[in-house]
């Protein structure tokens, strides 16, 4: 019997479709009788949701990169201790929409704060927790941002601060993800995010099924 559940993270640029894919996988696993916790970063707890609002509010244009970095980790520290570790110790499968790879890609590379700084904070915030498997839903930046813009039409002005960064920023983030996936090839699965949600979900299932 497994004494610890499985920790699977979903990563990708804005508009990659990772959130939809995570939801489809969670439903499939539940249909198969598995206990699943769906977690999200930033957010996932009451405190985390408040931090999420600060981070993604397009009004907060003067948020400095280091403050941004610390807020992402504050949300994560709360989520790890309050939700993720308890669920894993109960043997659940925890699916998490973004985790430290997001911070490496967006703050470490995108903002230029560096990998070492991010990994130092990871050691403080995550208590040694690392994903067993990471699904990188990969789309090109034009496709991703076009999808994100459509999604934001309904929530205009509320959760757009990160999506509003330059095209160059998002290109750096995508390159950083692909580098991370190459560097940690054993843990990462790169999924082609083009096509219908069902087509992409079939690709996700193929690469995850043997790990759960």
Residues 6+ apart with CB under 8 A from 193: 12, 16, 17, 18, 137, 138, 139, 143, 200
Among positions 11-70, residues that touch ligand TMP (CB under 6 A) are 14, 41-42, 56
**177 in contact with ligand TMP (CB under 6 A):** no
Report in angstroms how near the CB of residue 176 gets to ligand TMP at its nearest: 11
Report in angstroms how near the CB of residue 57 gets to ligand TMP at its nearest: 11
Among positions 135-174, residues that touch ligand TMP (CB under 6 A) are 162-163
Report in angstroms how near the CB of residue 210 gets to ligand TMP at its nearest: 26
Nearer to ligand TMP, 139 or 162 (CB): 162
Among 5, 11, 36, 72, binds ligand TMP (CB under 6 A): 72
Phi, psi (degrees; rounded to nearest 5) at 2: -75, 130
Residues 6+ apart with CB under 8 A from 108: 114, 115, 117, 118, 176
CB 119 within 8 A of CB 186: no
Q: What span, in angstroms and rounded, lies between the C-alpha atoms of 133 and 135?
A: 7
Report in angstroms how near the CB of residue 124 gets to ligand TMP at its nearest: 14
User: One symbol per residue from 88 to 127: x for binding ligand TMP (CB under 6 A), - otherwise; what is it?
Assistant: ----------x---xx--xx--------------------
**Which residue has 């009788």 as its token pair?**
33
Q: Site for ligand TMP (CB under 6 A): how many residues? A: 12
Q: Which residues of 131-163 are buried (b: 16+ CB within 10 A; e: fewer)?
A: bbbbbbbbbebeebbebbeeebeeeeeebbbbb
Q: Interface residues with ligand TMP (CB under 6 A)?
A: 14, 41-42, 56, 72, 98, 102-103, 106-107, 162-163
């Amino acid at each position: 019997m497994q004494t610890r559940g499985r920790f699977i993270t979903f990563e990708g640029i804005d508009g990659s479709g990772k959130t939809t894919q995570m939801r489809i996988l969670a439903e499939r696993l539940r249909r198969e009788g598995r206990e699943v916790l769906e977690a999200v970063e930033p957010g996932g707890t009451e405190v985390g949701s408040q931090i999420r609002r600060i981070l993604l509010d397009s009004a907060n244009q003067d948020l400095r990169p280091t403050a941004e970095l610390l807020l992402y980790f504050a949300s994560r520290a709360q989520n790890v201790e309050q939700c993720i570790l308890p669920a894993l110790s109960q043997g659940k499968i925890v699916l998490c929409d973004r985790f430290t790879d997001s911070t490496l890609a967006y703050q470490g590379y995108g903002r230029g704060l560096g990998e070492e700084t991010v990994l130092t904070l990871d050691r403080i915030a995550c208590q040694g927790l690392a994903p067993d498997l990471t699904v990188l839903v990969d789309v090109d930046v034009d496709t991703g941002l076009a999808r994100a813009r459509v999604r934001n039409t309904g929530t205009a002005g509320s959760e757009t601060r990160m999506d509003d960064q330059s095209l160059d920023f998002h290109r750096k983030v995508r390159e950083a993800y692909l580098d991370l996936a190459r560097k940690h090839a054993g843990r990462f699965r790169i999924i082609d995010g083009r096509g219908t949600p069902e087509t992409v979900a079939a690709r996700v299932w193929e690469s995850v099924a043997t790990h759960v």
